Amino acid sequence: MKKMMMMVAVGLVGCLGLMMAAGCGSTGSAAPGTSYAYVPGDTSGYVPNEEQEVIDASTKVLKTTDIVVISKQTNEQGRTRIKGETGDGTSVEVTVRPHDEATFLAVKVGLIGDDEASAALFSKIRQELGLAVR
Protein backbone atom coordinates (compact mmCIF):
# COMPACT_ATOMS: atom_id res chain seq x y z
CA MET A 1 0.00 0.00 0.00
CA LYS A 2 2.82 2.37 0.91
CA LYS A 3 4.57 1.60 -2.37
CA MET A 4 1.35 2.25 -4.31
CA MET A 5 0.85 5.67 -2.63
CA MET A 6 4.47 6.59 -3.42
CA MET A 7 3.93 5.72 -7.10
CA VAL A 8 0.78 7.86 -7.23
CA ALA A 9 2.60 10.79 -5.60
CA VAL A 10 5.52 10.54 -8.03
CA GLY A 11 3.09 10.36 -10.96
CA LEU A 12 1.22 13.47 -9.80
CA VAL A 13 4.45 15.42 -9.35
CA GLY A 14 5.58 14.34 -12.81
CA CYS A 15 2.29 15.46 -14.40
CA LEU A 16 2.48 18.78 -12.60
CA GLY A 17 6.04 19.24 -13.88
CA LEU A 18 4.93 18.55 -17.45
CA MET A 19 2.07 21.03 -17.14
CA MET A 20 4.42 23.72 -15.84
CA ALA A 21 6.91 23.04 -18.64
CA ALA A 22 4.10 23.35 -21.18
CA GLY A 23 3.15 26.75 -19.83
CA CYS A 24 0.00 25.69 -18.01
CA GLY A 25 1.17 26.88 -14.62
CA SER A 26 1.01 30.26 -12.99
CA THR A 27 3.60 32.83 -13.92
CA GLY A 28 3.30 34.57 -10.59
CA SER A 29 2.55 38.23 -10.22
CA ALA A 30 4.38 41.43 -10.88
CA ALA A 31 3.76 45.09 -10.32
CA PRO A 32 1.15 46.62 -12.61
CA GLY A 33 2.63 47.93 -15.83
CA THR A 34 5.70 45.76 -15.54
CA SER A 35 4.43 42.44 -16.75
CA TYR A 36 2.98 40.84 -19.82
CA ALA A 37 2.32 37.29 -20.81
CA TYR A 38 1.98 35.29 -23.95
CA VAL A 39 -0.83 32.78 -24.18
CA PRO A 40 -0.82 30.91 -27.48
CA GLY A 41 -2.51 33.26 -29.89
CA ASP A 42 -2.52 36.45 -27.89
CA THR A 43 -0.31 38.87 -26.01
CA SER A 44 -1.58 40.20 -22.71
CA GLY A 45 -0.52 42.10 -19.65
CA TYR A 46 -1.41 44.72 -17.09
CA VAL A 47 -1.03 48.44 -17.63
CA PRO A 48 -1.23 51.13 -14.93
CA ASN A 49 -3.69 53.26 -16.92
CA GLU A 50 -7.42 53.71 -16.30
CA GLU A 51 -9.72 51.34 -18.16
CA GLN A 52 -11.33 54.02 -20.36
CA GLU A 53 -7.90 55.37 -21.31
CA VAL A 54 -6.87 51.86 -22.45
CA ILE A 55 -10.11 51.45 -24.44
CA ASP A 56 -9.59 54.83 -26.14
CA ALA A 57 -5.92 54.11 -26.92
CA SER A 58 -6.77 50.66 -28.29
CA THR A 59 -9.50 52.06 -30.54
CA LYS A 60 -7.18 54.80 -31.81
CA VAL A 61 -4.36 52.34 -32.58
CA LEU A 62 -6.73 50.01 -34.42
CA LYS A 63 -7.97 52.85 -36.59
CA THR A 64 -4.48 54.23 -37.31
CA THR A 65 -3.28 50.77 -38.38
CA ASP A 66 -6.12 50.41 -40.90
CA ILE A 67 -8.09 47.95 -38.79
CA VAL A 68 -11.83 48.49 -39.09
CA VAL A 69 -13.59 48.38 -35.71
CA ILE A 70 -16.62 46.13 -36.12
CA SER A 71 -17.94 46.11 -32.56
CA LYS A 72 -17.19 47.32 -29.06
CA GLN A 73 -19.08 45.68 -26.19
CA THR A 74 -18.78 45.94 -22.42
CA ASN A 75 -20.31 43.24 -20.21
CA GLU A 76 -21.67 43.49 -16.67
CA GLN A 77 -18.28 42.71 -15.12
CA GLY A 78 -16.69 45.65 -16.96
CA ARG A 79 -14.80 43.64 -19.59
CA THR A 80 -14.72 45.45 -22.92
CA ARG A 81 -14.14 43.51 -26.11
CA ILE A 82 -13.23 45.43 -29.25
CA LYS A 83 -13.49 43.39 -32.44
CA GLY A 84 -12.00 44.48 -35.72
CA GLU A 85 -10.83 43.29 -39.09
CA THR A 86 -7.79 44.02 -41.23
CA GLY A 87 -7.99 44.82 -44.95
CA ASP A 88 -7.41 41.17 -45.83
CA GLY A 89 -10.19 39.97 -43.51
CA THR A 90 -8.01 38.89 -40.57
CA SER A 91 -9.88 39.17 -37.26
CA VAL A 92 -8.51 41.33 -34.44
CA GLU A 93 -9.74 41.24 -30.85
CA VAL A 94 -8.70 43.52 -28.01
CA THR A 95 -9.91 42.77 -24.49
CA VAL A 96 -9.75 45.39 -21.73
CA ARG A 97 -10.70 44.56 -18.15
CA PRO A 98 -10.29 46.45 -14.87
CA HIS A 99 -8.11 44.64 -12.35
CA ASP A 100 -7.42 46.11 -8.90
CA GLU A 101 -5.26 49.19 -9.48
CA ALA A 102 -4.37 48.27 -13.05
CA THR A 103 -6.08 47.37 -16.30
CA PHE A 104 -5.72 44.04 -18.07
CA LEU A 105 -5.08 44.26 -21.82
CA ALA A 106 -5.09 41.34 -24.27
CA VAL A 107 -4.58 41.46 -28.04
CA LYS A 108 -5.25 38.63 -30.50
CA VAL A 109 -4.77 38.88 -34.25
CA GLY A 110 -6.14 36.05 -36.38
CA LEU A 111 -8.41 33.12 -35.63
CA ILE A 112 -5.74 31.07 -33.86
CA GLY A 113 -3.50 34.03 -33.15
CA ASP A 114 -0.53 35.49 -34.98
CA ASP A 115 2.24 35.83 -32.41
CA GLU A 116 4.14 38.64 -34.09
CA ALA A 117 1.10 40.67 -35.11
CA SER A 118 -0.49 40.35 -31.65
CA ALA A 119 2.72 41.43 -29.90
CA ALA A 120 3.23 44.34 -32.33
CA LEU A 121 -0.30 45.65 -31.78
CA PHE A 122 0.06 45.21 -28.01
CA SER A 123 3.28 47.28 -28.13
CA LYS A 124 1.61 50.03 -30.20
CA ILE A 125 -1.19 50.30 -27.65
CA ARG A 126 1.37 50.52 -24.81
CA GLN A 127 3.20 53.22 -26.75
CA GLU A 128 -0.05 55.17 -27.26
CA LEU A 129 -0.54 54.98 -23.49
CA GLY A 130 2.92 56.50 -22.95
CA LEU A 131 4.42 53.26 -21.65
CA ALA A 132 7.67 51.55 -22.55
CA VAL A 133 7.49 49.39 -25.67
CA ARG A 134 8.42 45.75 -25.20
pTM for the model stands at: 0.71
pLDDT tens for each residue of 99-124: 989 999 999 999 888 999 999 999 99
Which string of DSSP letters, residue by residue, matches 56-71? Answer: HHHHHHHHHTT-EEEE
CATH number at residue 40: 3.30.160.110
Domain that includes residue 77, residue range: 29-128
- Residue 55 lies inside a defined structural domain of this protein: yes
Q: Which residues pair with 38 in a beta bridge?
A: 43
- Residue 17 lies inside a defined structural domain of this protein: no
Q: Taking the CB of residue 83, how many other CB atoms lie within 10 A of it?
A: 17
Number of domains comprising the chain: 1
- Residue 107 lies inside a defined structural domain of this protein: yes
DSSP H helices in the chain: 2-21, 51-64, 115-128
pLDDT tens for each residue of 64-104: 999 999 999 999 999 999 999 999 999 999 999 999 899 99
